[in-house]
C-alpha cells in the first residue's frame, strides 16, 4: 500500500505546479500578443482605470489574511484560523465585485470591448484573471466548510490541526492565491508601463 510518506513530492504539489505553469504561459502569451499588436500594428496603449490600482489593495489583503490563516493553523488557534479564512473569502469577493466596477469605469472612458484591439486585450486579460480567481473560490469555500464541520470540540480540533492532508491543502491554497496576487500586480504594472512608455 502506498502512503503519502512514499512520495518524494506529493502529486498535489506537481498538479498545482503544472496549473501555475499553464496559467503563466497563457498570460505571457496574451501580454506578448498585446506588445506585438502595439508595436507591429501601431495600437495605442490604453489608460489604466483607477480602480485597477485600488483593487490591487483588496487582492493583496486577501493574500495577507491567508498567510495569517496559515500562521494561526500552525499556532493551533481555531477561532483566528477560521476568521482569517472568512476574511480571505470576503476580500476576494470584494475584489471581484470592484473589478466589475473597474470594467464599467473603462466603459465611461470610452474603452469598450469593441472600441479598439488594445482595449479588447485589456478586457480579455483582466477577465481571464477574474475567471481564475473565481475558479479558486470553491476550493477556499470548501476548506472553510471543512474547518467548521471538522472542528467541533478539543479532540476534533486536535485531529484537524495534526492532519497532514489539511496542512498540505492549506499550503497549496496559499500557493495558488499568492500566485494570482502576484499575477494581478504584474498585469497592472504591465498595462501602466505600456501606457507611460
Per-residue pLDDT of 45-90, as tens digits, reads: 788 999 999 999 999 999 999 999 999 999 989 999 999 999 999 9
Q: What percent of the chain has a predicted confidence (pLDDT) above 90? A: 67
* Minimum mean pLDDT range among 30-34, 61-65, 101-105, 163-167: 163-167
Residue tagged 496559499 (cell numbers): 174
Q: What is the CA radius of gyration of the chain?
A: 20
Q: How far apart are CA 197 and CA 40, in angstroms?
A: 15
- What are 128-160's pLDDT values in tens digits? 999 999 999 999 999 899 888 888 888 888 888
Q: How far apart are CA 23 and CA 180, in angstroms?
A: 9
CATH topology for 10-196 is 1.20.120
- Asked whether the predicted pLDDT for residue 179 surpasses 80, the reply is yes
Position 114 scores a pLDDT of 84
When comparing pLDDT for 157 and 101, which is higher?
Answer: 101
For the chain, give every domain's residue range. 10-196
Residue tagged 474547518 (cell numbers): 147
Q: What integer best gives the mean pLDDT of the chain?
A: 90
Residue 5 pLDDT level (bands cut at 50, 70, 90): low
When comparing pLDDT for 33 and 153, which is higher?
Answer: 33
* All cell numbers assigned to 153: 470540540
Show the CA angle centred on residue 108, arms to residues 104 and 112, nearest 5°: 70
Q: Which residues of 88-101 are buried (b: 16+ CB within 10 A; e: fewer)?
A: bbebbebbbebbee
Please tell me what DSSP assigns to residue 152.
S
What secondary structure does DSSP assign to 97-110, as a single string? Answer: HHHHHHHHHHHHTT
Q: How far apart are CA 179 and CA 93, in angstroms?
A: 17
Position 3 scores a pLDDT of 47
Position 6 scores a pLDDT of 66
Q: What percent of the chain has a predicted confidence (pLDDT) above 70? A: 96
Residue 94 pLDDT level (bands cut at 50, 70, 90): very high
* Whole-Å CA distances, 40 to 43, 44, 110, 124, 193: 8, 11, 24, 20, 17
Of 48, 51, 87, 47, the C-alpha closest to 67 is: 87
Amino acid at each position: 500500500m502506498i502512503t503519502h510518506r512514499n512520495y518524494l513530492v506529493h502529486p498535489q504539489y506537481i498538479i498545482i505546479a503544472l496549473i501555475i505553469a499553464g496559467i503563466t504561459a497563457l498570460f505571457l502569451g496574451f501580454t506578448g500578443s498585446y506588445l506585438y499588436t502595439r508595436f507591429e500594428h501601431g495600437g495605442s496603449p490604453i489608460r489604466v482605470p483607477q480602480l485597477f490600482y485600488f483593487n490591487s489593495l483588496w487582492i493583496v489583503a486577501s493574500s495577507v489574511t491567508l498567510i495569517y490563516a496559515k500562521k494561526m493553523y500552525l499556532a493551533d488557534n481555531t477561532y483566528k484560523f477560521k476568521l482569517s479564512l472568512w476574511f480571505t473569502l470576503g476580500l476576494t469577493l470584494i475584489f471581484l465585485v470592484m473589478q466589475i466596477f473597474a470594467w464599467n469605469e473603462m466603459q465611461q472612458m470610452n474603452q469598450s470591448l469593441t472600441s479598439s484591439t488594445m482595449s479588447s486585450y485589456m478586457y480579455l486579460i483582466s477577465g481571464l484573471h477574474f475567471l481564475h480567481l473565481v475558479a479558486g473560490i470553491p476550493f477556499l469555500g470548501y476548506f472553510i466548510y471543512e474547518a467548521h464541520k471538522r472542528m467541533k470540540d478539543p479532540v476534533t480540533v486536535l485531529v484537524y490541526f495534526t492532519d497532514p492532508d489539511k496542512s498540505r491543502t492549506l499550503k497549496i491554497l496559499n500557493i495558488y492565491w499568492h500566485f494570482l496576487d502576484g499575477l494581478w500586480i504584474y498585469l497592472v504594472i504591465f498595462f501602466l508601463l505600456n501606457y507611460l512608455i
